[in-house]
Structure 1
């Protein structure tokens, strides 16, 4: 069975070769019909963006810094920016009173008479709020439409660091994405990882966080498929990406763990073929997922004992030996209040080496 391109992008840590130095040997044939030169030119005009290369999951929800004080121990459920008000604006172009959502991007209101989709948006300073309730100003410094979806815009943002008294990018950098941008997503997420529709507010979700990763994997919360909103699929994905089994905002994984994600609506399909990055024969079923966390588990992603999950949320799961979901997938614990088979998403993973029980943590 051939894999769909979307499935490949999600379940694999793809490596795209660069064009630099990609020249054929002098003795190579120069046939227009094929050969090394044809393969060489087949690489042209292909995106080298981080979105193509990186699809592994991670530990962060928003992808933002937990605190401006790097020496202060901070809970992973904290963020220097958790929400931003669409109005009133702290600074804006003349005549612009507010920002509005338009699918995957923001537009100025009232709209400028002419200009690009970013007119009246770049340069705006908005009032935001941190997880501790303190106010923080957030500036939109740049806007870059996605190459795959021009209607989706990545924003380069800065927030006012009251500790250092300077503007800084609040997004956490990692090796794959050292200069992260953010997507503007409607509504807000609280410390438990729950999403709420909050009129007049938005979330700036950074590239290295689960909110944006799930959008790039295909679950755009503003979109629909066959008349069904993808919002619940996106929210379920944010739980899955961080292995937030209890639905309390705590992750049980390690950064860059490769997994296979699939749903029962055909947006992402289960991988069935072996490649350099993914071997289905070595993976096994991990969990099924709903918007508020896992509906059932077979094992943990980071290798900790199942008893630790049962202690973390004792009223949530109960032993359920051999609950079958089909396709050879079985659960060892399940929720009493939800039928496991009704889960929106499922995932496979390799599982951690035996004896691994360390809790993952975000930067």
Structure 2
């Protein structure tokens, strides 16, 4: 099997455990500003515990208060501002985004893709619109694409009065880092371009996963920008059928995907990670959600999706998409054939919400 066909074999780790701060009082003594900045980017003891969490878009923790019940569309870090900077190296006034990495402005004489970036502290915002501070503690260019950089970040946890990695870690990516993407995503999962704003997309979230799978929103294919494909991928990765930010998948659900540009192709040969004979067509995807469905990924009844977003889908409206892909539920306002992306999955037991075990 060639590399192109191996690449789309994707394990979605989407029902993710949050790393929670253990033993902290509900409200710690406030730390003076000078001391707060002096304490950023220091090594931290491994005293955090894992707790169940819903599937994620940003790949970040929902809330700093680990005892608080918070829904899956919440995040401690939604967007950051490129200027003005809270803290920076001498002479650095702002940051700018170039493709998949940050550049200090003005550029320090030392040069290099990370020069002047590490150590800066940015203004940021959480999902409730509250102000947050985020520090860039490290930067490592991707081996596959030097223009794309993985950043180690920390955000100020006002509950614990500590700097903390806001990214959720998993067994396969325990110390999750972040990629940078222009604009921001709201609670519904919609992307908004906003001058001067960026998203720190943590590795275990859908935004970063879709970039790593090949859909870089700053890139293009045959003259066509990949922005729409990346956004459609974030919906597909989380099984966000209604385009409202709600996921319908489970941890370690294995899927196969393929797009209309041919960037990623359908897998036809069996391997240890994927068995095409077990898989079936699930849905076709646009940037605002599914254009049509054959079934749900987690096995829940289709009726639950129709109730979640009434008047969006038409039941019993069969659509043949070609290649054996056939929908039985379709959008009323969009032609199914306009989808940018399609996917296969193993699927869950009908009428249940039991998780699908994958690799």
TM-score normalised according to structure 2 size? 0.85
Secondary structure of 2:208 counterpart = helix
Counterpart in the other structure of 1:196: 192
Matched, 1:272 2:268: yes
Report the Cα offset of residue 317 of structure 1.
Answer: 0.5
Secondary structure of 2:8 counterpart = helix
Counterpart in the other structure of 2:258: 262
C-alpha distance in structure 1 between counterparts of 2:134 and 2:89, whole Å: 15
Secondary structure of 1:89 counterpart = strand
Counterpart in the other structure of 1:8: 6
Q: Which has the larger radius of gyration?
A: 1
1:29-56 deviation line (CA, Å, top 9, x unaligned): xxxxxxxxxxxxxxxxxxxxxxxxxxxx
Counterpart in the other structure of 1:285: 281
Q: 1:338 aligns with which of 318, 334, 340?
A: 334
Structure 1 segment 52-91 matched on structure 2, within 5 A: 59-91=55-87
Counterpart in the other structure of 1:232: 228
Structure 1 segment 84-123 matched on structure 2, within 5 A: 84-123=80-119
Report the Cα offset of residue 357 of structure 1.
Answer: 1.7
Q: CA RMSD in A?
A: 1.5
Counterpart in the other structure of 2:156: 160
CA contact (8 A) 2:141 2:150 kept: yes
C-alpha distance in structure 2 between counterparts of 1:144 and 1:188, whole Å: 22
Q: How many corresponding residue pairs?
A: 315
C-alpha distance in structure 2 between counterparts of 1:240 and 1:263, whole Å: 12
Report the Cα offset of residue 102 of structure 1.
Answer: 1.1
TM-score normalised according to structure 1 size? 0.84
C-alpha distance in structure 1 between counterparts of 2:252 and 2:5, whole Å: 17
Counterpart in the other structure of 1:306: 302
Counterpart in the other structure of 1:51: none
Dislocated runs of 4+, deviation >6 Å? none
5+ residue gaps, structure 2: 12-53
C-alpha distance in structure 2 between counterparts of 1:244 and 1:171, whole Å: 21
Secondary structure of 2:292 counterpart = strand
C-alpha distance in structure 2 between counterparts of 1:245 and 1:336, whole Å: 14
Structure 1 segment 142-181 matched on structure 2, within 5 A: 142-181=138-177
C-alpha distance in structure 2 between counterparts of 1:219 and 1:59, whole Å: 20
C-alpha distance in structure 1 between counterparts of 2:239 and 2:217, whole Å: 20
Structure 1 segment 236-251 matched on structure 2, within 5 A: 236-251=232-247
Report the Cα offset of residue 151 of structure 1.
Answer: 0.8
Report the Cα offset of residue 355 of structure 1.
Answer: 4.7
Secondary structure of 1:84 counterpart = strand
CA contact (8 A) 1:252 1:359 kept: no
5+ residue gaps, structure 1: 14-57
Counterpart in the other structure of 2:34: none
Structure 1 segment 1-40 matched on structure 2, within 5 A: 3-12=1-10
Secondary structure of 1:78 counterpart = coil
CA contact (8 A) 2:292 2:328 kept: yes
Relative distance call for 1:250 and 1:175 in structure 2 (3 A) is same
Report the Cα offset of residue 353 of structure 1.
Answer: 2.6
Counterpart in the other structure of 2:348: 352
